A and B are shown apart, each in its own frame.
Chain A
Amino acid sequence: MKLLTREALLSFRRAPLLSALSVTTIAFSLFTVGLFGLVALNLRQALKGLEERVEIVGFVLRGTPSEAIAVATQDISAFPEVKDVSYVSEEEALQRARNELVEFRDAYRDLQMNPLPASIEVRLKDGFRDAAAVERVAQRLKGFGFIDDVRYGREWVQKLDSLRNITGLVGLVIGLTFAAVAVVIIGVTIRLTILQRAREISIMRLVGATNWFIRGPFLLEGALKGLLGGFLSLVLCYAGYLLFRDKSGGTFGGLLFFAPEHMVLIVIFGVLLGLAGSLVSVGRHLRHV
């Protein structure tokens, strides 16, 4: 193990330029992936704000006893998808209409009787705001006898849904493309190191080193480069994030940066990229010699 680490570290000292190149390419590949991740992250955050407002409204038939409504409200709040349920009485509905629809205030004031029905407003839990879940809850609301009609922004929910799916998909495709590019670049740089050390490898083989023994230092080297590249890419991402946030003059003041677990994930991803790149080129070399 000591030997392994020594050999891996030695390559940094022996070929500082090449090592720096490897680390930088990994950093830039991850930086690109990271930037896209940040965009996706913030887009998702923005969508989440919109989704918060996804609401299902069930209009209650006039004359429904309040006990029945209370029981139903209890039932509905026990649905796994439901975050909270509130009952809006006829009076409250009228009051709300007066406040919100200023233009019709006069019309509402002169009313002899309240034309607005009472309603049950249902807000859904995080993760249950997709079109399918909304539809499901709406159908169940309709099942209550005293519910006259159910309204929810069906199209709106579906659009949100597809927008989120598309960002996810585009992010995945671009991310994977860049990851593939990173693997190739790392493979090439490790291959250069290997060619540089071809003599040493041939001697190792000659004196009876196993293939895993020969691979070890290169894999560790790749992993180390991935680790460094991962950290560097985080620094770059953070710099880009700060720059964008400050230059935008407050428009994007609420921009998010990666959570700690995301950062760990990026660094781990860097290590995996480094390992994959070195495994590919070492494997190829060992087969050829």
Chain B
Amino acid sequence: MIRFANVYKAYPNGALALKDVTFHVSKGEFVFLTGHSGAGKSTIMKVLFAEQKPSAGEVRVSGYNVNALKPTDVPRLRRRLGVVFQDFRLLEDRTAAENIAFALEVTGARTDTIAARVMRVLTQVGLSAKSRAYPREMSGGEQQRVAIARALVNDPAILLADEPTGNLDERATRGVFQLLRDINAGGTVVVMATHDLDLVRQTSYRIIEMRDGSVVYDSQMDEAQAEAK
């Protein structure tokens, strides 16, 4: 589903955000991206949803070659992805249901199917009772669930979550994380960038650790090497 091969990303000032990053993510995987701030987690995310292009190396996401992506293909790629951020990125002047419907409307979904699809994902994230609430009337955890519902409504193959629990208290964090695990159990690839090591240690999901733009640890490689021995 995701393939990074010897990827470099240089910023205009010459700083290298990614150095020779290589990893593959297969169908159905749940992957943690860990590391300190500035280690390159967010850059990987941005390259994954084609917000930035790699300077060198090859990136393939859900069948799209990000290096050679035409501007008209960027929206097509993004419709196959769901993206969730630390700051939720909801529209304040729209209700939960409207925020989710927005994602369908902008992709030209059939109007008569929208309401049902919105209710389905709201139910999936456990917020069917809050469909008419505005973001300011919801807790952080609830807002993040709405953001996740919005990411899910287009039935993405891959869900990218950049520090999704960064702004949440412990209880909300557990809830959101469980939701992501459920989504992964349904077959969606989940890539979650986080520096919450407690969360990472709770599970046996794959961990890719970044430092200064390089991959310094990949639990899958570790296992593969262990098996090789």
Contacts and interface: CB of A to CB of B under 8 A. Distances in A.
Contacts of B77: 208
A206 B83 contact: yes
Contact of B49 (A3, A206, A210): A206
Grouping DSSP codes into helix (H, G, I), strand (E, B) and loop, the B interface class, with mixed when no group exceeds half, is mixed
Interface stretch (A19-27, A124-132, A196-204): A196-204
B154 interface: yes
B108 A213 contact: yes
Contacts, number: 47
A209 B75 contact: yes
Grouping DSSP codes into helix (H, G, I), strand (E, B) and loop, the A interface class, with mixed when no group exceeds half, is helix
Contacts of B71: 211
A207 B106 CA distance: 8
A286 B108 CA distance: 20
Given A199-B89, A200-B91, A208 B105 contact: no
A208 B91 contact: no
Contacts of A215: none
Interface in B43-99: 49, 71-72, 75-79, 81, 83, 89, 91, 93
Contacts of B81: 208
B84 to A, nearest CB: 10
| B91, B102, B106, B154 — most chain A CB neighbours (10 Å) | B106
Contacts of B83: 206
A200 to B, nearest CB: 6
Contacts of A209: 75, 106-107
7 contacts: A14-B93, A205-B78, A208-B77, A208-B79, A211-B71, A213-B108, A214-B106
Interface of B: 49, 71-72, 75-79, 81, 83, 89, 91, 93, 102-103, 105-108, 111, 150, 154
Interface of A: 2-3, 14, 199-200, 202-211, 213-214
